[in-house]
Every structure is written in structure tokens, then in C-alpha cells.
Amino acid sequence: MTSVTAGRADTAPFQPESAPDYLPAAILRELQLARLRSTLQRAWSRVPLHCSRMKQCGFEPGDLRTLEHIAALPFTTKADLRDTYPFGLFASPMADIVRLHASSGTTGKPIVVAYTRQDVDVWTSVMVRSFAACGLHAGDIVQNAYGYGLFTGGLGAHYGAEGLGTTVIPTSGGNTDRQIMVMRDFGVTAICSTPSYFLHLIERAAQLGVQVRSLPLRAGVFGAEPWTASMRRRIEDLAGIQAFDIYGLSEVIGPGVAVECLHQDGLHIFEDHFFPEIIDPDSGRVLPEGEEGELVLTTLSKQAMPMIRYRTRDITALIPGACRCGRSLRRIRRISRRSDDMLIVRGVNVFPSQVEAALLEIEGALPHYQIILACEQGLDRMEVQVEVTPEMFSDQIGVLERLNQRISDALEHVLGLRAQVTLVEPLTIQRSQGKARRVIDRRRAQP
Amino acid sequence: MKLHQLSVFSENKPGHVVAPCRLLAREGIDIRALALADTERFGILRMIVSDWRRAQDLLEQAGSVVRITEVLAVEVPDRPGGLAGVLEVFQGTAINIEYMYAFPFVRGQKAVLVFRFDQPDAAIACLQEAGIQVLSSGALQEA
């Protein structure tokens, strides 16, 4: 007989906070249209970039008749956030802004996002509804191992879990042995972290003689990096928990844009606050439900930083039909990949162009390089191999070692994470049609 | 008076040093002196060869990164105190030895020391003043 994962549940007590999840579709669409109108109006009157973009295509907020009509508007991209760094897309004066977060951008400069009091409340409410959808409730003891700080994961999950009435332990990321001690001694029933960190935690616990399976832990809410169905199975088998996928991005709000319910059959988007479209990443054309493409999100209630048709670069599809849980919120499939070259390493966004920028700064010319990602004991490991050029080569060991260190420091400065730098002989990095393959990702080679 | 030393970058992996040596052997270039400086991850192969220009071309064509450095070769008696006698010359000067390596002559009772100085010309003057012979590349060929 196959054993059912301990604590697996198909139903959970109804939480009043989840009521908007069950709005009748017609009412939900009406609400979306009304909120979209006011969002466009706000962006038009307060954010020069959005205003000039709308004018360029002859669009005025009052023109909006239907939700589908949004396709007439241009996209917003990460480059727009970078170009208007730090505060250029804010639609509220600083006096109304109560929080700033930042995440890494493509050139080393972070992108900055802002929240009014109401934005924080909305964010908290979608996180409350996320945890409720995962079956958490008052009485649960939640270990929040997302990093607290500029990253939206830590505080987003914290406020949500607290808002739901669970007991939150703000362990933040890192210090694995202490995390295991807390998990065991405090009787933790649910955990939030990146999936890769949780795998690492299970493995380390086993080394310390702690069997996570035998602890009261019954649920994990994992996000901030793409993961596979097989990784979920592995986590669920090893830890004896139900592992849920949560999705979000700082540019839109942070975690809490979409989450799985107990049926784990796609992620419900909190459509009363975020309007999803799936587009063909090449043509920009909106694709019908069920077809795979890039997720584009428009915020419907954000005040400090409304986002209009933001290209997430995440590839997914809207799942047709209703979920067995009864929520009217539409679902997206688990994010399978991204349409650009962004990598997520230990929850940090990394672009090969950042590595290039760091190397250029040091060398003045771009050497051939390769990023190699591997998974060691459940943790991402990043190595940057750099081909030695005659310009950087020296007959003295010390000079080369200092060069190695300088590259390593520059990468850490730009990426916000430590990468191992290896100097390699010329022509050793594999090339295809003269161009070096920039990234080798061995993390998910084995299912 | 200054000799041209070839330095070749090498990863610290099995088989990585042999390739340049084999290439030079095939082309009939004689390696007069050789030293390997290494760290855990990479190494630098330093060589004095019979025809440095051709050796440089061949190695670069084969894809190696090569650097030419001017070094000095000094002949000392192959007996206790031979090296110390040379090093004492630089005591109290501002001349710095970046690195050095030694190899014995096949014939005779002499050893050759190869030095990389931060100020090679000042070092030559010092050595000559002390009566220590600095070898020309021709002298090394005959060794």
C-alpha cells in the first residue's frame, strides 16, 4: 500500500479572509474593469512615462471599455524600471509611501519598488489568502526562512502569516543548524523558504540526526525560484509535508500574486488585484487561454507604483476550467522557464549581462567567460570561469591571484552573491559558431 | 645580458603541463631551464628555451597565453654557500627578487640561477660590481 503523505488534506476550514477568492466570475470581471480604469487614470495623471506611452498610442484612460481593450496599451519592462531609477515610476509622493523594497536589476543597479499604507495592506491580504489557500490557520507555527530585508520575500510572508493569525518565527535565511533546532524545538508546522533551501535543510537535518518526517511540520510554502514537479515530489517524500508553490515578483507587489490551493493543480491568481495576460514573447500578441506564453501582469489596486502590462518574462499558461476547490480565481501553470536569460541563484536574480559588466570593468575588454551553476547539497553553487587573455596574464602568481580576487569581489558587489571564479586556459570554454555558451545550468539535470 | 623567459598559463589539472612541452619537443626547441609555479587552481610554466621567438609563436598558435619576461641568469659554483653568495649582493639595496629558480649544469661543477628582478638593470650593475658573471643567452646555450 502506498502511504499517503502525513498531514495531506483536501479540505481546510474556511477562512473569512478568503471570501474574495470565491467572487462570482461576472462580479469579479466588473470589479477588475472598474479597478483597471482607476489604475490607468492614476498612472496617466501621475507617472510621466505611463502618460507619454499612452499618448503615443493615442489612448486615454477614459477609452477603456472592456478588460480585453488593455491589449491596446504598450508593455512596461524591467528596463523601464532601470531607466527611471530610483523613483521615476512612483505615483505617490514620498509622504504617502511607507515602504521601499529593492531587487537586483540587469546592470547592477537595483530596481526600487514602493508601497503606500494601502499597498502594504493589500499585499498582506493577498499573503493571508495565500497561506489560507495552503490550509494554514491560527494555531499553526510558521517558520519564515525567506530573507528579511530589501528582498520582498521575508516581510511579505511575515505580514501575511501574522495577518492570518498564525505564530510566526522570523528566522530569515541562513544559519541552517539553528533553523533545524527551531523547527524541532518549537514544533513548527509550516515553513516558508525557497525550495532549494528547504531541500538543503532536510539534508542537513538528516546529518544532525533529525528526521524532518517525524516532526509536526506538515506544509511548506515555497517560491522565489522556479522548481519542478519532481523536486516537489522529492520534498514531499523526504519531509512528509505538502509543498505549495507561491508566485510573485517585486515589480508587481512581491510574493502573493498567485498561489496553489490544497489541490496543487495550478496557481490561483489574486485577480481582484492583478490582471493576467499571456502573450507571445516575440510578437507581443495576446494568446488564448491554455496556450503557453509569457505572463504579463497589470496591477489593479497598487497606488504607489501602478504597473501596466508588466512583462514578467515568466513562461506559463492560463489553465482553462474551474478548480475543484471552488475558487473563481483563474490559475496559471507552474512557471516552467523564463523568456530571457535571467537566472535565479539562491533566490537572487542574476543576469549574464551583470557578469559581463563586472568583467568589463576589471579588464577593459570582455574575456570569454562561462557561468556554471550546480547544486551541491541542495544549495545552488555558482562558478564563473574566465579565459585568461594575454592582457591579463602575468608571469607572477600573486598578480593572477589578486586578479582572481578582484573579479570575485566585483561579481559579489554586482550580483549580491558570492561566485567562485576560476581562471582557465584560452579556448577551453565551449563555443558554438564562435560564441561561447554563457551559461551551463547543471542544477536540474537530474529529475 | 637579459634572457627572454616564456611564461605559459596552465590550469592545475592532470596533463596540462605536458602539452606545451611536447609541442616544443616536436619542433626541435630545447628547453634550457624550466620551473613551475602553481597554486591549487592554476599554474605558470616558466621556461628558457633555445629559440624563444619561435617558441612563443608556436605556443600562441596552439592557443596558449604566453608572456615574455626578461630575466637574468647567473652562474655560481655548485657547492654550499653558492646561492647565498649571490643573494648577499642585494642586501641593503632596494632591488627586489620577484622570483627565482635554479638548475645545475649537466657538465661541470656550476649551477645556474635564474632571477626575475623588479629592476633588472640595477641588478646587473650590482652583480657586475660584485664580480658575479651574468650569463648571456649564448653562454646558456653552451651550458
The yes-or-no verdict on residue A400 having pLDDT over 50 is yes
User: Are A401 and B39 in contact (CB < 8 Å)?
Assistant: yes
Closest CA to A189 of A131, A143, A246, A138: A143
* Cell (9 digits) for A271: 485577480
Residues of B in contact with A396 (CB under 8 A): 44, 98-99, 116
**First-last CA distance in chain A:** 24
Helix (H, G, I), strand (E, B) or coil at A142: strand
B48 and B92 belong to one structural domain: no
Kindly report, residue by residue over B39-70, the tens digit of the pLDDT: 888 999 999 998 999 999 999 888 889 999 99
Q: Count of CB contacts below 8 A, A vs B?
A: 52
Kindly report, residue by residue over A149-160, the tens digit of the pLDDT: 998 999 999 999
Residues of B in contact with A389 (CB under 8 A): 65
* Cell (9 digits) for B9: 598559463
- Residues contacting residue A101 through CB under 8 Å, at least 6 positions apart: A112, A113, A115, A150, A151, A152, A155, A250, A254
Kindly report, residue by residue over B120-133, the tens digit of the pLDDT: 899 999 898 888 88
B65 and B11 belong to one structural domain: yes
Cα–Cα separations (whole angstroms), residue A97 to A125, A255, A307, B1, B33 = 18, 19, 16, 73, 70
pLDDT for position A354: 79
The yes-or-no verdict on residue A298 having pLDDT over 80 is yes
B47 and B95 belong to one structural domain: no
Q: Residue B61 maps to which CATH number?
A: 3.30.2130.10
Most confident of A10-24, A229-243, A251-265, B37-51: A251-265
Kindly report, residue by residue over A197-243, the tens digit of the pLDDT: 888 788 789 888 999 999 999 999 999 877 778 778 889 998 999 99
Helix (H, G, I), strand (E, B) or coil at B59: helix
Give the residue, A434 or A298, on which the prediction is more confident. Answer: A298
Please name the amino acid found at residue A289. E
Residues of A in contact with B42 (CB under 8 A): 400, 423
pLDDT for position B81: 84
The yes-or-no verdict on residue A3 having pLDDT over 60 is no
Nearest-CB residue to A423 (from B16, B42, B67): B42
Q: Give the lowest-confidence range in A130-144, A286-300, A383-397.
A: A383-397
User: Are A426 and B42 in contact (CB < 8 Å)?
Assistant: no
B64 and B113 belong to one structural domain: no
Give the residue, A364 or A329, on which the prediction is more confident. Answer: A329
The yes-or-no verdict on residue B116 having pLDDT over 50 is yes
Q: Residue B87 maps to which CATH number?
A: 3.30.70.260
Name the average pLDDT for chain A: 89
H helices within A227-375, ranges in order?
A: 229-239, 352-363
* Cell (9 digits) for B15: 596533463
Helix (H, G, I), strand (E, B) or coil at A295: strand
The residue with cell 604566453 is: B66
State percent of chain A over pLDDT 70.
93
H helices within A260-377, ranges in order?
A: 352-363
pLDDT for position A281: 87
The yes-or-no verdict on residue A1 having pLDDT over 60 is no
Query: B44 with A395: CB under 8 angstroms?
Result: yes
Closest CA to A410 of A358, A373, A333, A332: A358
B102 and B127 belong to one structural domain: yes
Cα–Cα separations (whole angstroms), residue A395 to A158, A387, A390, B6, B18 = 54, 16, 11, 8, 18
B17 and B45 belong to one structural domain: yes
pLDDT for position B77: 79
Provide mean pLDDT across the span A246-256: 96
Judging by beta carbons within 10 Å of its beta carbon (0-12, 13-18, 19+), is residue A134 exposed, middle or buried? buried
* Cell (9 digits) for A382: 555558482
Which ipTM was obtained for this model?
A: 0.81
Kindly report, residue by residue over A93-133, the tens digit of the pLDDT: 999 999 999 986 444 578 999 999 999 999 999 999 999 99
Q: How far apart are CA A416 and CA A398, in angstroms?
A: 26
B51 and B96 belong to one structural domain: no
Strands B66-77 and B42-49: unpaired
B75 and B130 belong to one structural domain: yes
B137 and B76 belong to one structural domain: yes
Query: A174 with A151: CB under 8 angstroms?
Result: no
Q: Give the lowest-confidence range in A105-109, A215-219, A367-371, B73-77.
A: A105-109
Decide if A365 touches B, using CB distance below 8 A. Answer: no
Q: What count of other Cβ atoms lies within 10 Å of the Cβ of residue A183?
A: 24
Q: How far apart are CA A251 and CA A79, in angstroms?
A: 12
Q: Give the lowest-confidence range in A35-44, A180-189, A230-239.
A: A230-239
User: Are A425 and B9 in contact (CB < 8 Å)?
Assistant: yes
Q: What count of other Cβ atoms lies within 10 Å of the Cβ of residue A447?
A: 9
B112 and B132 belong to one structural domain: yes
Residues of A in contact with B62 (CB under 8 A): none
Name the average pLDDT for chain B: 86
* Cell (9 digits) for A58: 493615442
Q: Give the lowest-confidence range in A147-151, A202-206, B106-110, B117-121.
A: B106-110
Domain ranges, residue B125: 71-142
Decide if B107 touches A, using CB distance below 8 A. Answer: no
Give the residue, A346 or A372, on which the prediction is more confident. Answer: A372
> For residue A433, what pLDDT band results from cuts at 50, 70 and 90?
very low
Number of domain units in chain B: 2
- Residues contacting residue A92 through CB under 8 Å, at least 6 positions apart: A46, A114, A116, A303, A304, A305
Judging by beta carbons within 10 Å of its beta carbon (0-12, 13-18, 19+), is residue A198 exposed, middle or buried? buried
User: Are A388 and B9 in contact (CB < 8 Å)?
Assistant: yes
Domain boundary among B16, B42, B69: B69
pLDDT for position A364: 61
Provide mean pLDDT across the span B62-85: 86
H helices within A134-281, ranges in order?
A: 152-164, 176-185, 195-207, 229-239
Length of chain B: 143
Q: Give the lowest-confidence range in A50-59, A246-255, A309-318, A363-372.
A: A363-372
User: Are B7 and A424 in contact (CB < 8 Å)?
Assistant: no
- Domains, in order of start, for chain A: 16-340 (3.40.50.12780), 344-441 (3.30.300.30)
Domain boundary among B15, B44, B69: B69
Strands in B15-143 per DSSP E = 31-38, 42-49, 66-77, 97-104, 110-117, 134-135
pLDDT for position A301: 98
Residues of A in contact with B66 (CB under 8 A): 390
**DSSP summary character for residue A287:** P
pTM of the model: 0.66
The yes-or-no verdict on residue A386 having pLDDT over 70 is yes
Domain boundary among B69, B94, B119: B69
The yes-or-no verdict on residue A446 having pLDDT over 60 is no
pLDDT for position A143: 98
B56 and B109 belong to one structural domain: no
- How distant is the Cα of B108 from the closest Cα of chain A, in angstroms? 30
Kindly report, residue by residue over A160-180, the tens digit of the pLDDT: 999 999 999 999 988 889 999
- How distant is the Cα of A176 from the closest Cα of chain B, in angstroms? 29
Q: What count of other Cβ atoms lies within 10 Å of the Cβ of residue A379?
A: 19
pLDDT for position A152: 93
> For residue A344, what pLDDT band results from cuts at 50, 70 and 90?
confident
Closest CA to A144 of A112, A114, A174: A174
State percent of chain A over pLDDT 90.
64
Closest CA to B59 of B128, B118, B7, B102: B7
B13 and B75 belong to one structural domain: no
pLDDT for position A303: 98
The yes-or-no verdict on residue A379 having pLDDT over 90 is no
Q: Give the lowest-confidence range in A191-195, A286-290, B102-106.
A: B102-106
